[in-house]
Amino acid sequence: MLKSAAPKSLRWQRAKQSLLARQTDIFLSAARLMWYLWWDDTIARRFPQHRNRRAQWLVGTLLDLGPTFIKIGQALSTRGDLLPAEYIQALGQLQDRVPEFSADEAIAIIESELGSPLYTLYRDFDRNPIAAASLGQVHKARLHTGEDIVIKVQRPGLDTLFDLDLRVLRRLLRFCQRYLPWTREYDLEAIYEEFALVLYQEIDYVQEAINADRFRYNFRDHARITAPKVYPKYTTKKVLTMDYVPGIKINDRQSLEAIGINVKEINQLGICSYLKQLLQDGFFQADPHPGNMAVSPDGCLIFYDFGMMAEVKSIDKDQMVRTFFAVLRKDTDQVIHTLTTMGLIEPASDMAPIRRVMGFVLERFTEKPIALQEFSQVKQEVSALFAQQPFRLPAKMTFILKALTTLDGVARDLDPHYSLMESAKPFVKSITIAKGQSSGIGLGELTKQAREYITYKLRQPSPTERLIQRLEERLEQGEVELRSRSLETDRAIKTINLALKSLTYACLTGFSLLSGAVLLVGAYKVWAFAAFGLAGLGTLFLIRSLIALTIRERIDRLVK
């Protein structure tokens, strides 16, 4: 009889973890990632299949390194300013594909934390978990009073592993800041501190219970938004007990439509609930992936996981409100102004490229989901924009972007043609007719912006008038003339750079050949062959650079 092979043990599952062994694993993986990023950016930039393979390697490595790095990968999936698009796409699909731990371990933790034998606490307990992730797993049970519940049990040894990993990451951060000066511009220290704070909060189930109660209170007047009730008597730092609230996974469109659920309505409900969390409550679920959201048979939206919540301060919330309604109004200047005030855009001497790209995004993508391939229409402006690096992402925005991009993916699964503006209408309407204060939550800025938006829609000019206004603005600001000059200058600079690069490779190749010949005459054969090898490598780079220069010159002649 054939026996199935035991699943391969992952690096983070070793019984005893030493600081040196863990540091070696993490540092080698980080060094390999940096090498791949450099190689793909300089050598294989025209071969996206290479970057796709590297991206899949990164996902596998993060899963192998364990829970800390799975969470890092999920956070990095929003950081287009740090990683290439192929990596962002692969990390966006990263799930906690980790093996469950044994029911005996789970029972031991429950009994230790709650201080009583299992069947003194529960009438029934299902030993098979209904869900397992990197931080814990969930078992179904029934109380002696008859309520069906779920018990979330933290994975054994998780806090020790986090302590070890964060020590190593701190050392890696210091190494990068000392020996890799280019990493300083990304504010890695602030990102590390924010990530560590959220990570430890996520494994504190008492904090998660508090978050769940606060979330339920914020939506107490919304009958179609629900969250499981927490049982404080059966909850500790490592054990969380909540109501069993079954539902259909939110991205399971086929099952939803089979029971008569309107998926567009669910999309609208989800978008409006997040707008309320972000703009009104300032307290939002930072990880709205399909495993954390479901739909009940009567069409209610269910939120499950409250370990990864984030809070927005009131001053930032006001700025977000202004930005949101400026996006709806397609007010480019207001969007740029508020993003600059929030620190998301750094002021530049020439804001025209930023204004062009922002205008393009607002005009094309507020009525439908963003299709990134359509950015090819402004490829030169986008390239110039990121070359100047006017954008930056403060640590506090990482989780907002993670929530929004994840929610966008869920919305597309339900309705590939969903419109943000259409989905947001019920929220805008509810705020517009709001009066005064609501349970201590100030609605002043929100109401003001909503009413201004309604006024804007009523007074909106015709498409022809908008086109004329836009043309006048561009002529007044000199953008048309500036653009043509900028493109000519850009082409010339690129040609000069390629020529200089070719000259550098030619000098390196000639010097290596000469050095090899001298060493060979001097009977230093090993060093001579090393020099000849370097000359061969330089020749390959020279040929590649000359081909690129020839193609560039031909393209420039065609354009002229």
Q: Active-site residue numbers?
A: 287
Report yes or no: 274 and 393 within 8 Å, Cβ to Cβ: no
User: Which residue type is seen at 397?
Assistant: M
SS3 content of the chain, % helix, strand, coil (to 5): 65, 10, 25
Instruction: Find tokens 């030619």 and name the residue.
Output: 506
Kindly state the tokens that stand for 199: 């990570």
Cα 358 from Cα 327, distance rounded (Å)? 10
222 CB burial (10 A radius; 0-12, 13-18, 19+): middle
Q: Which of 90, 434, 429, 413 is closest to 270 using CA atoms?
A: 413
Q: What amino acid occupies position 494?
A: K
Q: Which helix (H) or strand (E) is 281 found in, with range?
A: none
What's the Rg (C-alpha) of the chain? 28
Query: Among 243, 244, 232, 228, which Cα is nearest to 114's?
Result: 232
Query: How far is it, in rounded angstroms, from Cα 232 to Cα 241?
Result: 8
H or E segment and range at residue 309:
strand 309-311
Between CA 506 and CA 542 the distance in angstroms is 6
Q: What type of residue is 373?
A: Q
CA 293: distance to chain centroid?
18
Collapsing DSSP states into helix, strand and coil, what is residue 242?
strand
Selection from 252, 232, 229 nearest residue 242 by Cα: 229
CA atoms within 13 A on the CB side of 383: 10
Kindly tell me the number of DSSP H helices and DSSP E strands found in the chain.
Answer: 21, 11
Task: Measure the CA–CA gap between 193 and 183, rounded to whole angstroms.
Answer: 16
- For 136, the 3-state DSSP assignment is strand
307 contacts 208 by C-beta, under 8 angstroms: yes
Is 294 within 8 Å of 317 (Cβ atoms)? Answer: no
Q: Is 471 helix (H, G, I), strand (E, B) or coil?
A: helix
